[in-house]
Amino acid sequence: MHPARKQRLILVILLVVLSSAAVGFVTYAMRSNMDYFYAPSAFAAGEVPFAKRIRAGGCVVPGSVVRDSDSLDVRFAITDGEAELEVVFDKILPDLFAEGEAAIVTGKLQQGGFVRADQVLAKHDESYTPPEVMESMKGKASCHGDAKI
Amino acid sequence: MAWQWFHRLGSPRWFYQKSSAWLPWLGVASLLLLLIGCVWGLGFAPQDGKQGNSYRIIYIHVPAAFLALAGYYIMAICGAIGLIWKMKLSFVVMRAAAPIGAALTFISLFTGALWGKPTWGTYWVWDARITSMLILFFLYLGVMALSGAFSREQSGDKASALLALVGTVNIPIIYKSVDWWFTLHQPATLKLTQASTIDPSMFYPLITMIAGFYLFYAWVLTLHTRTMILQREWRTQWVRELLGQTAPGRP
């Protein structure tokens, strides 16, 4: 290879490597801000600030969804397999919200360790299954409280 | 010298003449695959047990996102070859790839938003996957703007190639964002190393659409490159002859 071309090749490689390293360091430094939500175990460990708008995500614990009889209030618990977090919500839940499915809630952590949410989003998992196949796997929740939902 | 074939490859005229033979094949094959994939995926593949019919956006969303990422590498590698070997054709392909990639990125963002509303309950969130994909869209727009911002064509070539190369750092971030951080977007369904978590009856139309998108990309990129070659080389003898003009002396 011609020496001039070799030099330009090295410069191009350096450009890519150095800019990647720079972005890599910045991303690493901001890693705690890159997460879209806190896991329930972060609440248990006291890492989540009170009375600030935060997001929490986890698997909706089967059997934990309780609807209030005379208001829209609904209470449920989300888990990441290590800790559970109580959530109170007073608006309409998304269609795909269900027990055993993942959900992400936005709200404020209250005294007493529960979150009063003003938004609940359903988090879809990465599996796609026709209804008949799902019928045969009935009773299997799609998230099992894994830390990474 | 061993590198001579490589330099011949870089001649716009050589590319223009060779590629006219590829065009009909690429066009017919890509449209055929896209037609089969659309009819199969939208009409015959089963519904999803949880999402119903709205999951069918996957047949547009996933192939468009694949090509938006792969197209960025094509654009950046062409920029690098242009910088290192000073190859004219390489810069032309890089410029031609930018608007196609931008369109594909927009399609994947737009279809994702349409799907997000019924599935998640919102059109848009600022999680790592969606935000890094938006940055990809801006990078494509930046390469387009920068390549046209100079009166000297060579300056635009160089500047936009550098931007394209710096932007490559975003591609692994987009790809791995769903594994590295908590995001609302789900992890990848199609996996390289493990079994994909999609039923075969839904997977085969999807893979047909992905193959169709790849061929469609190659077709559109070739077409766009040819147009840009004519625009760039309009003063040359061979373009004038091609357009049926007798050269009225050297410009």
- pLDDT tens string B169-213: 999 999 999 989 989 999 888 887 788 889 999 999 999 999 999
A143 pLDDT band, cuts 50/70/90, is low
Compute the nearest-CA separation of B119 from chain A (Å).
6
CA separation for the pair A104, A95 (Å, rounded): 14
CA separation for the pair B12, B95 (Å, rounded): 14
Q: For B210-251, what is each residue's pLDDT tens digit? A: 999 999 999 999 999 999 999 998 888 889 888 886 655 554
- Predicted TM-score (pTM) of the model is 0.89
A71 vs B37, which has greater pLDDT? B37
Beta strand pairing status for A74-79 and A84-89? antiparallel
Look at A119-128, B3-12, B186-195 and tell me which has the smallest mean pLDDT. B3-12
Segment B34-40 shows an average pLDDT of 96
B212 vs B17, which has greater pLDDT? B212
> For position A31, what pLDDT does the model report?
82
In chain B, how many domains are there?
1
Compute the nearest-CA separation of A53 from chain B (Å).
15
* Domain-embedded: residue B228: yes
* Domain-embedded: residue B171: yes
- A147 pLDDT above the threshold of 50: no
Q: Taking the domain A35-136, which CATH number applies? A: 2.40.50.140
- A19 pLDDT above the threshold of 90: yes
Domain that holds residue B143: 27-41+56-187+198-242
Compute the nearest-CA separation of B19 from chain A (Å).
27
Least CA distance to B201: which residue of chain A?
A130
* DSSP track, A47-113: -SPTTSEEEEEEEEPTT--EE-SSSS-EEEEEE-SS-EEEEEE-SPPPTT--TTSEEEEEEEEPTTS
- Element spanning A23, H or E: helix A3-29
Mean pLDDT score of chain B: 91
Query: Do A85 and A103 form a contact (C-beta atoms < 8 A)?
Result: no
> For position B246, what pLDDT does the model report?
60
Structure tokens of B154? 């060579």
> For position A141, what pLDDT does the model report?
57
Which residues in chain B have their CB less than 8 angstroms from residue A96's CB?
50-51, 118-121
CA separation for the pair A103, A126 (Å, rounded): 14
- B15 pLDDT above the threshold of 60: yes
> For position B197, what pLDDT does the model report?
87
Closest in A12, A37, A149 to B84, CB measured: A12
* Domain-embedded: residue B2: no
Q: For B77-104, what is each residue's pLDDT tens digit? A: 999 999 999 888 999 999 999 999 999 9
* Domain-embedded: residue B50: no
* Domain-embedded: residue B4: no
Which residues in chain A have their CB less than 8 angstroms from residue B201's CB?
130
* Cβ–Cβ gap A104/B184 under 8 Å: yes
> For position B65, what pLDDT does the model report?
96
* Domain-embedded: residue B166: yes
CA–chain centroid gap for B17, Å, is 23
Mean pLDDT score of chain A: 86
* CA neighbours closer than 13 Å in the CB half-sphere of residue B132: 26
Among B165, B121, B113, which residue's Cα sits nearest to residue B139? B165
DSSP helix/strand/coil, A46 = coil
Structure tokens of B125? 């969130």
SS (H, E, C) chain B: CCCHHHHHHCCHHHHHHHHHHHHHHHHHHHHHHHHHHHHHHHHHCCCECCCEHHHHHHHHHHHHHHHHHHHHHHHHHHHHHHHHHCCHHHHHHHHHHHHHHHHHHHHHHHHHHHHHHHHCCCCCCCCHHHHHHHHHHHHHHHHHHHHCCCCCHHHHHHHHHHHHHHHCCHHHHHHHHHHHCCCCCCCCCCCCCCCCCECHHHHHHHHHHHHHHHHHHHHHHHHHHHHHHHHHCCCCHHHHHHCCCCCCCCC
Which residues in chain A have their CB less than 8 angstroms from residue B182's CB?
35-39, 57, 148-149
CA separation for the pair B76, B154 (Å, rounded): 16
* Domain-embedded: residue B112: yes
CA separation for the pair B216, A39 (Å, rounded): 42
> For position B235, what pLDDT does the model report?
87
Least CA distance to A119: which residue of chain B?
B121
> For position B169, what pLDDT does the model report?
95
B1 vs B180, which has greater pLDDT? B180
Segment B24-41 shows an average pLDDT of 96
Segment B94-119 shows an average pLDDT of 96
Closest in B84, B127, B199 to A8, CB measured: B84
CA separation for the pair B194, B60 (Å, rounded): 23
> For position B110, what pLDDT does the model report?
97
B133 pLDDT band, cuts 50/70/90, is very high
* Domain-embedded: residue B17: no
Query: Do B47 and A134 form a contact (C-beta atoms < 8 A)?
Result: no
Which residues in chain B have their CB less than 8 angstroms from residue A17's CB?
none
- Per the listing, tokens 């789900």 go with B186
Structure tokens of B139? 């990078």
- A145 pLDDT above the threshold of 70: no
Which residues in chain A have their CB less than 8 angstroms from residue B183's CB?
36
* Cβ–Cβ gap B49/A130 under 8 Å: yes
